[in-house]
Amino acid sequence: MAEILAEFTLESREHIDQLEDAMLSLERDPSEEAAMAAAFRALHSIKGNASLLALEPFEALTHAGETVLGRVRSAELDLEGPVVDALLGLVDLLRRMVDRLAALEPGASFEAPEVGPALRSLAPWLGGGQQPGQGGPEPGQELLALAEHEGEGELATAASKIRVDVALLDRLMNLVGELVLARNQILQHASEGQLSAVLATAQRLDQVTMALQDAAMKTRMQPVGTIWTRFPRVVRDLCHELGKRARVEIFGRETELDKQIVEALHDPLTHLLRNAVDHGIETPERRAAAGKGREGTIRIRGFHEGGLVNLEISDDGAGVDPAKIRRRAAKLGWSAEALDALDERALHELLFVPGFSTRSEAGKLSGRGVGLDVVRTNIERLGGTIELHSRLGRGTTVRVKIPLTLAIVPALIVTCAGQRFAIPQVNLIEIVRVPAAARRERFATIHGAAVLRLRGHLLPMTALARALALGEGRGGPSEAELTGEGASEGEPRDATVVVLQADEQRYGLLVEAVHDTEEIVVKPLWSVLDELGCYAGATVLGDGAVALILDSVGLAARAGLLDEVLAGEQEQAQRELVEEPARRRGNATAGPQRQYLLCRSAGAERLAIPLAEVSRLEEIHASRVERMGPQEVIQHNEEIVPLVRLSRLLGGELGAGARAEAPGEIGGELDRLQLVIHRVDGRPAGIIVDELLDIIESGAPVQRPAARPGVLGSLVIDGQVTELLDVEGALRLGTSSFSKEHTR
């Protein structure tokens, strides 16, 4: 019986969500037949299942709902506000009853909430026909027959889907995690032993593991739309309470996330939605006075970008008033000078400060200063970030970026004081190596805090050994050594800094050494370690050693890098310590800032590649390059990646037709190749460059048109003429024959 009740509650929740969605659609357009059919289907399904289990309260409520909707459909009753309110009240009561039934202990009897008030609220619209619970023909039979006929085509789709116990899925994920660990160990041991046969087997195991991992991940994935089903109802009820009008538009319902993340996102996203109605959407009168439609619009969007799931909630309301933020910040003790130095984006960041609210009086929905800071904390616990963009009078957009899953993630392995740590790649920006000879130029101290000069900016930094109290200077230079405030032990040592993202701020983490990247299985921490706040979990590495996973935000907070005072001091010192050449300042004012990857081709040619078009950078051994006819390729993640040699392409000799060996080619003089990976039509392709120089920001305009294929034009960066590479055009030119052959 318990299994039958569990199945009933599971199905009823789905039907109740469908019923609520249908009622909201009918409120907007009472003539929408599809919504009416969906409402009847949901009510009839719940009533039929309840009758089999003798759950009379469910039968009574659903029968009453069918009766009212039957009169609406036959034009005996208008679907006005009070009728919709009563029917939505019925939906809420059904939901509470299902929740109570789901929480029922084995062997206990079901005691339903009082259904009398709900039935009495529907009584004025039941008409003089059959009352709930009485015999007689059921209302809406004709429409139900139509609904059943329309639903026949859905049976095949439903049959291809099954419900899987979450405990079983968790068990499957644990097994996959152990398989990943075994794969890592075999790969490492086989590589060290130079056993070709074992290595081949290990590579096959690698492929199988990846396929199994991908399949297991998909079983845990759920459409993010599952947490959006109730959002239109939330907006509708809030608008009624506040005297506003707004419609909800939802895009990307099918965007998938790990079930664990989907469930954890419900409360933060609901809070953002309530903020959009309460703070954003104006009353109809104010919207009309501002030249807007009387009804506001709230758009909810989900999409994939940069390996993350992006969730946006935007409104076309009043937007955030910077003047209100400044006044509120001044009351909280901020100086006028500090506020004047903040740009609009920095002002918006103040909204995430605990206790900060632009409301002068607390209301039922807001004004208590408990809001966006809690939302940000919850998002960061999921490994995500949140950002807010607003224009006064135009509206506000809040974007949340979340990783697909928290179970298995790619991470960079680093060493500090002889111990290894894992840094999730989602928090990793770049790795900076500073030669010992350049330490004085690249590192400085501001009021006792170490900073790194990086491409014209000051980056706050800390040593991992210092932040974790592991004994600073063990195995690598200390902060004092780098900034010249401490003596070096022996010869000066090179420094390795890992640049991480924490909230909206970047900072540098000084580590002893950087190893390879590795897919790690995230294991929960013991509660004592969890309370430290600087660890996100633990994992077992390929050699069997245990490594702690670093939390970039918690680590920055522990090191004091997120302090507002320090941030202000760095802004003040920026002008004093960073002296960029005049040519760079000229470039910065020439246009919008863009990031470029600078590289060299044959000879001394400098080229710039827009960083937005770079999927990843790789250094590979030349022996990995193979040939498919005239085309050079490598294998990566079971994909064939065509290669283009930039020196050949720009010299007029396409990679698909060249015959002479180039430096770094099999049999050439170099063993290592530098690859810039880009995706063309969703498939990877690589550009081989001779040297990777730097990543820079520049606003320099393109001054000269392209003089040859594969180049967009020329621009001046740091006083040097630099050609801007047409990445996609170059790849299409250099892999044209391969692409034609490969797509046949």
CATH code of 206's domain: 1.10.287
Average confidence (pLDDT) over 25-40: 86
434 lies in the same domain as 376: no
Most confident of 218-222, 323-327, 612-616, 659-663: 323-327
Identify the pLDDT of residue 315: 94
Mean pLDDT along residues 110-130: 67
Q: Say whether pLDDT at 99 is over 80.
A: yes
My answer on whether 419 and 538 are in the same domain is: yes
Q: Domain containing 74 — which CATH number?
A: 1.20.120.160
Tell me which of 519, 551, 577 is where a domain ends.
577
Residues 6 or more apart in contact with residue 7 via CB below 8 angstroms: none
Is the model's pTM score more than 0.85? no
pLDDT tens digit sequence for 375-385: 888 888 887 88
Return the pLDDT at 545: 86
Residues 25 and 147 in one domain: yes
Q: Residue holding tokens 């697909």?
A: 404
Percentages of the chain per state (helix, strand, coil), in multiples of 5: 45, 25, 30
Indicate whether 181 pLDDT > 80: no
Mean pLDDT value of segment 199-206:
72
Same domain, 216 and 278: no
* Local structure of residue 204 (DSSP, 8 states): H
Is there a single domain that holds both residue 177 and residue 131?
A: no
| Residues spanned by the domain of 177 | 166-220
- Mean local confidence (pLDDT), 508-536: 81
Mean pLDDT of 462-472: 84
390 in the same domain as 254: yes
SS3 state of residue 384: coil
Give the residue-averaged pLDDT of 499-524. 84
Q: What is the CATH number of the domain that holds 412?
A: 2.40.50.180
Specify the pLDDT at position 248.
92
What pLDDT sits at residue 273?
Answer: 92
- Model confidence over 602-612: pLDDT tens digits? 655 788 888 87
Q: What is the pLDDT of residue 679?
A: 76
pLDDT on residue 54:
79
pLDDT at 285 over 90: yes
pLDDT band of 336, cuts 50, 70, 90: confident
Task: Give the length of the chain.
Answer: 744
**Block residue for tokens 């899953």:** 405
What digits encode the pLDDT tens for the residues 713-731? 888 887 788 888 888 888 8
With 0-12 CB in 10 A as exposed, 13-18 as middle and 19+ as buried, what is 270? middle
Task: Note the pLDDT of residue 314.
Answer: 94
d(C-alpha 378, C-alpha 554), whole Å: 13
Answer positive or negative: Cα dihedral of 663, 666, 670, 674.
positive
How many C-beta neighbours within 10 Å does residue 287 have? 21
Whether the CB-CB separation of 38 and 95 falls below 8 Å is answered with: no
456 secondary structure, DSSP code = T
Per-residue pLDDT at 163 exceeds 70: no
Residue that finishes a domain, picked among 118, 142, 159: 159
pLDDT beyond 70 at 436: yes
Determine the 3-state secondary structure of 481 from DSSP.
helix
Predicted pLDDT of residue 105: 72
Q: Which residues pair with 415 in a beta bridge?
A: 420, 513
- Residue 662 pLDDT: 41
The count of structural domains within the chain is: 5
Distance CA 499, CA 461 (A): 9
Same domain, residue pair 8 and 137: yes
Q: Considering only 310-319, 467-476, 567-576, 580-589, which range has the smallest mean pLDDT?
A: 580-589
Confidence of residue 277 (pLDDT cuts 50, 70, 90): very high
Amino acid 367: pLDDT: 42
For the segment 96-102, the average pLDDT, to the nearest whole number, is 84
DSSP tag of 484: T
Tell me how far apart the alpha carbons of residues 435 and 352 are, in angstroms, rounded to a whole number.
38
Does residue 557 share a domain with residue 628? no
Q: How sure is the predictor about 657, in pLDDT bands with cuts at 50, 70 and 90?
A: very low
Residue 217 tokens read as 């991940």
pLDDT computed for residue 445 by the predictor: 75
pLDDT surpassing 70 at residue 39: yes
The answer to whether residue 119 scores a pLDDT higher than 90 is no
457-463 and 505-511 strand pairing: parallel
419, pLDDT greater than 80: yes
Share of the chain above pLDDT 90, in %: 10
Residues 193 and 234 in one domain: no
Answer yes or no: is pLDDT of 362 > 70.
Answer: no
- Joined tokens for residue 328: 């509120």
**Integer Cα distance of 481 and 338 in angstroms:** 32
498: pLDDT confidence band, cut at 50, 70 and 90?
very high
pLDDT of residue 197: 64
Residue where a domain stops, chosen among 403, 433, 468: 403
Quote the mean pLDDT of the chain.
76
Query: Bigger pLDDT: 513 or 734?
Result: 513
Residues 412, 372 share a domain: no
Confidence of residue 744 (pLDDT cuts 50, 70, 90): very low
Distance of alpha carbon 571 from alpha carbon 589, whole angstroms? 19
b/e 665-679 (16+ beta carbons within 10 angstroms → b): beeeeeeebbbbbbe
Sign of CA dihedral 678, 503, 395, 372: positive
User: Do both 390 and 443 map to the same domain?
Assistant: no
236 and 302 part of one domain: yes
Q: What element of type H or E holds 424?
A: strand 419-424
